[in-house]
Structure 1
Amino acid sequence: MNPLPILRDSWYFFARHMGAIAVLCLPLLVLESLTRYLLVGTLTADPSPAYELVTSLLFYPLYTGALILFVDTRSRGLTVRYRDLLAMALQLWPRFAVLSALSTVLIMAGASLFILPGLWVMIKIAFAEYLLVLDRLTPLAAMRESFRLTQGHFVTISACVLTVMLPLWLLDARSFPELKAWGDIPVLILDCLRGFLQLFASVVVFRLFMLATPERAAEP
């Protein structure tokens, strides 16, 4: 798999459907940012990282699950109503939240040893969300299957994911400290923008997932 065509095709899809993706996911991203602000920024003087994790587990499975279903249906030439996509994502929320929690723990455990083990875990479980949403696998089964499917594709997946995520991580590191001096509204706006742009990474990984499972193209 060549990273450049994957990134190009993924960007074409994301740009073409940006309005629809915004309508589907942006309201939940705004709610996530507001909830994070209330829990971390106002309700506690000494915020715990657990508050941010709980907020992520509450909202991330909903908009990410809906986005995966949206990309899958549009890729197959189908059109599904937004409320139906959100309803399906809500049904998957319990197991998706479990998967997100397990993934976070594994990535943080790897990162605590050194950055590279954390990155390795992140890449190896990159397909787990798609296997859970599209194939309805359990969280552990999805993670095991993701480990299998990513064999032989680690470099390509890493190149694609880091190309998208590194600029966003740098944006976080440089912009958030400076914007805090301007007040809460700019921070909330940047948080929502960062979350929306991060959805592009989900589109990129979906493209990688489809290339790693070519038998799906033959399904009716």
Structure 2
Amino acid sequence: MNPISILRDTWFFFSRHLGTLLPLCLPWIVLESLTQQQLSLAAQSQQFAPWGMAAGLVFYPIYTASLLLYLIDFGEERRRGVSELWRAALRLWPAFALLSALSSLLIVIGFSLMILPGIYVMIKLAFAEVLLVKRGLRPLDAIRESFRLTNGHFFLLLTTVLVILAPTWALQGYIEQLNDEAAGYGLALNALSGFFQLLLTVLTYRIYMLGPEREQGSEQA
């Protein structure tokens, strides 16, 4: 698989389906950004990280599961409305929130050791969310299976994920430097950053379908 073609296909799908992705995911991203902003102001930026992560665990599973369900439906030529996808995502919320919490904890531990272990763990967990939604695996099983299935796809995932994350990390760094007077501007930028990070979900699903899913299908055949 060519990283450039994977990135091109990811952007093509994302831009082509923007009319669906905006109402499907953006409202939850805005709510997440607004909640995190208010928590940050209330905490005066002291010990904000745990509360900010908690806010993310509330909203992130809803819009990410909704997007994954939409991707699965598209591949299976099935159509569901936004409200139907939200209801399906909410049913997945307990398991998805637990997976997000465990994944965040593992990544934070990795980054606390050094940057490279953190990036390694982040890439090895790339398929976990897809496995939970598409194959119905439990959170721990999804994590274990993701570690296994990313073998042979690690550097492809690393290259493509960093291409998407680099500009969003730079934008997040800029947002953190804004003062309280630019709160509304920062909120809009934060929501925009969160929305474009959905490219990661599209990307990992694309690689999963071209790699592990196809390999499993050929083995079963």
Q: TM class by shorter-chain length?
A: over 0.9
Question: How does the TM-score come out when normalised to structure 2?
Answer: 0.93
Q: Give the secondary structure class of the aligned counterpart of 1:78.
A: coil
- When the two chains are superposed, the root-mean-square deviation of aligned CA atoms in Å is 1.6
Cα distance in 2 for residues equivalent to 1:171 and 1:44 = 22
Partner of 1:84: 84
Deviation of the 1:200 alpha carbon: 1.0
Match status 1:66 vs 2:66: yes
Q: Which residue of 2 aligns with 1:44?
A: 43
Residues 170-209 of structure 1: pairs in structure 2 closer than 5 A: 170-177=170-177, 179-180=178-179, 182-209=181-208
Contact 1:210 1:216 in 2 (8 A): no
Q: CA deviation at 1:176?
A: 3.6
Q: 1:6-49 deviations in whole A, cap 9, x for unaligned? A: 111111100000111001001101111111112221x2333431
- CA shift, 1:77, in A, is 2.1
Amino acid at match of 1:168: T
What is the CA distance between 1:81 and its match in structure 2? 1.1
Question: Secondary structure at the residue paired with 1:151?
Answer: coil
CA distance in 1, matches of 2:217, 2:22: 27
Answering whether residue 107 of structure 2 is matched by residue 107 of structure 1, we say yes
Say which SS state the counterpart of residue 142 (structure 1) adopts: helix
Q: Match for residue 131 of structure 1?
A: 131
SS of residue paired to 2:79: coil
* Corresponding residue pairs, total: 217
TM-score (normalizing by structure 1):
0.94
Structure 2: segments with no counterpart, 5+ residues: none
C-alpha distance in structure 2 between counterparts of 1:25 and 1:100, whole Å: 17
Measure the CA separation in 2 of the matches of 1:82 and 1:176. Answer: 32
Q: Secondary structure at the match of 2:105?
A: helix
SS of the aligned residue for 2:77 comes to: coil
Corresponding residue of 2:97: 97
Match of 1:9 in 2: 9
Whole-Å Cα distance in 1 between the matches of residues 98 and 143 of structure 2? 11
Structure 1 stretches of 5 or more lacking a match? none
- Which AA in structure 2 matches 1:195? G
Residue 57 of structure 1 corresponds to 57
Using the aligned pairs only, state the percent identity: 45
Segments of 4+ in structure 1 off by > 3 A? 215-219
